[in-house]
Amino acid sequence: MQLLNLIFIVDDDPIHQQIANIMIRRQGIGENVKTFSDAQDTLDYLKQHQDEPALLPDLILLDLNMPVMDGWEFLNDYAGFYEQLSKEIGIFVLTSSIDDKDRKKVDNFSFVKGYLTKPLSNEIITKLQQYS
């Protein structure tokens, strides 16, 4: 298992951001974690650095339910440009939604590696480690 260089947490809940950050570091899958409270800021960052693989994340943990731009809007926008990025980014939806409709809808996005439910647990971290 290799250490992930950069992990993005996209979630409007600062408590979840902090818990996820701590768990990722404790489990040793990544040292460099960047948090975003607004999905639009994440998209802007990715587009701005699309030709700089060292500045792009290896992994994005994406919440679906956010007030300004939700995870669905993020995925729809990302689908339009992700193939132009200078490296492949693993996206996992990490949400409190246990709705099967959401799970099935995520399957429409081939670049999403998995659908995980909050709260972040050691079991979920193990799934992320398998990705790395």
**Helix, strand, coil share (%) of the chain residues, nearest 5:** 40, 20, 40
**Does pLDDT of 121 surpass 50?**
yes
Fold topology of 7-131:
Rossmann fold (3.40.50)
**Does pLDDT of 1 surpass 60?**
no
Mean pLDDT in residue range 37-51: 97
> Which of 2-6, 59-63, 113-117 comes out lowest in average pLDDT?
2-6
Cα-only R_g, the chain: 14
pTM (2 d.p.): 0.92
Alpha carbon separation from 106 to 3, 32, 90 (Å, rounded)? 26, 26, 14
**Does pLDDT of 2 surpass 80?**
no
- 63, 15 contact by CB (below 8 A): no
Alpha carbon separation from 126 to 16, 83, 98, 102 (Å, rounded)? 18, 27, 20, 23
Residue 98 backbone dihedrals phi, psi, to 5 degrees: -110, 15
Q: Domains of the chain: which residue ranges? A: 7-131
Mean pLDDT in residue range 111-129: 83
Three-state SS for 51?
coil
Cα–Cα distance between 18 and 80 in angstroms, integer?
30
